[in-house]
Amino acid sequence: MSSSFVSQLPLAPLGAGDLIDRAVRLYRRHLFVLIRTAAPPVIIVAGGWILFSISARRVFVTTETDDLLLYGLLTTLSLGLMLAGYLFMLVVMGGATRTLVAHLLRNEPVTARATYTAVKARFWGLLGASTIVLVWISASSMAAFMGAYMVLIIFILGSVLFATVIPWLMPVVMIIGTLIATLLGLWIFFLIVGRVAYVPQVMLVEGKSVFAAVGRSFSLARGNMRRLMAMTLFTTFATYSALMILAIPLGWYGYLNGVNPWNSAQWPAWYAVAYSVLGPLSSIVLTPVWMLGLSLLYVDERVRHEGYDIELMAARQLGELPDVNVSSPLGTALHSLERQPPPPGPPMASGRVLNLS
């Protein structure tokens, strides 16, 4: 990245639109580097999806007990691969944030090697933290589903009551209820999941332990729901748009070769594998935008709550403070990945023993 990046991308509080805009600008500037950085976890997820698409379909059509056991084991293995890929994605996200902060601070180049070097230094801690985050995401999804389901049930009962009086009002109530339930579910999900959005970033930028990083993420994640939701929805819509661009030509090609794109139970193996690759392929292109968005959101939270922009500017101009485990903003702007030697003890007295009697 050019040395003029600091002047082109000033450290200031970001709105949702500014966050997406700057993530896209960074992505355009470092397209191939970021794709290489995001590729390993996405490839693992892609392998899991391909294996799942083959084995899960065979489970429902096989008649042999041995084959059923084999495909059941392959389905379990594919789910494990996908889980490992998503965990690895969270781990890499922390390294990407450290690379971004190191560039802001020291104008270091943004490379995949720098990201994975940072990940390697704290891999097992990051793996444990990512597991906690994934469990928290699952719990948030369940809470959001239950909230949306309860609201939808209320509107369904209301629409049945309205149908006995004004029949044409029933579909209107159902549509309004579905929209309200969806919005409520999204609000609950992002309100809860946003609390752990910065755990990998805190570990690699601030050098916190796993549980300290979780607590630190809770304290930082105040008022980030709308920006986190906007970033997630933007990335999701962009990914599905890219998926449609890839899926439509494949669907036409399959249709011309006698494949019914709407009946997945009758897909041949080549079509099922090709369709399974499309999702990870679109993700590998757009996952860096999500990673950059969360990295910028973490920096923005520290700018808003702690004056992190002043800390980074002071470190650029005057040099960093010694990394002595002092809490920000009095500590170092970027924690060192290398183990620091213990501070020297007090100077030893002379060889003579002082007689206090």
Residues with Cβ within 8 Å of residue 37, at least 6 apart in sequence: 92, 96, 112, 115, 116, 288, 291
pLDDT exceeds 90 at position 142: yes
For residues 139 and 145, what is the distance between their CA atoms, to the nearest angstrom? Answer: 10
Helix axes 225-256, 16-29, angle to 10 degrees: 50
Tokens representing residue 49 in the block? 């999806």
The mean pLDDT value of the chain amounts to: 78
pTM above 0.95, yes or no: no
pLDDT for 145 equals 94
- Measured distance CA(311)–CA(170) in Å, rounded: 58
Q: What is the 3-state secondary structure (H, E, C) of 213-266?
A: HHHHHHHHCCCCHHHHHHHHHHHHHHHHHHHHHHHHHHHHHHHHCCCCCCCHHH
- Looking at residue 346, what is its pLDDT? 52
| Per-residue confidence band for 230, with pLDDT thresholds at 50, 70 and 90 | confident
Q: For the CA atoms of the chain, what is the radius of gyration?
A: 26
Residue with the two structure tokens 């690759």:
277
Which residue in 352, 88, 323, 342 sits closest to 205, CA to CA?
A: 323
- Please name the residue ranges forming H helices in 30-64: 31-59
List, for residues 280-323, the tens digit of each pLDDT value.
777 777 778 888 888 888 888 887 777 776 766 666 666 555 55
Distance, CA of 306 to CA of 327 (rounded, Å): 11
| The one-letter amino acid at 253 | Y
Distance separating alpha carbons of residues 119 and 195, to the nearest angstrom: 22
**Domain count within the chain:** 1
**Highest-confidence range of 53-62, 188-197, 233-242, by mean pLDDT?**
188-197
Residue tagged 């990051």 (tokens): 126
Residue 234, in any domain of the structure: yes
The verdict on residue 114 lying in a domain is: yes
Q: Output the CA–CA distances (angstroms, integers) from residue 143 to 10, 121, 138, 163, in the order listed.
A: 38, 35, 9, 30
- What is the span of the domain harbouring residue 147? 5-316
Contact (CB, 8 A) for 297 and 305: no
Residue 312 falls inside a structural domain:
yes
Q: How confident is the model at residue 143 (pLDDT cuts 50, 70, 90)?
A: very high
Residues 110 and 9 sit within 8 Å (Cβ to Cβ): no
Q: What's the rounded Cα separation, in Å, for the pair 169 and 209?
A: 56
Contacts of 137 (CB under 8 A, 6+ apart): 193, 196
- Minimal CA–CA distance to 42: which of 241, 271, 272, 286? 286
Residue 150 within any structural domain of the chain: yes
Q: Are 230 and 16 in contact (CB under 8 A)?
A: yes
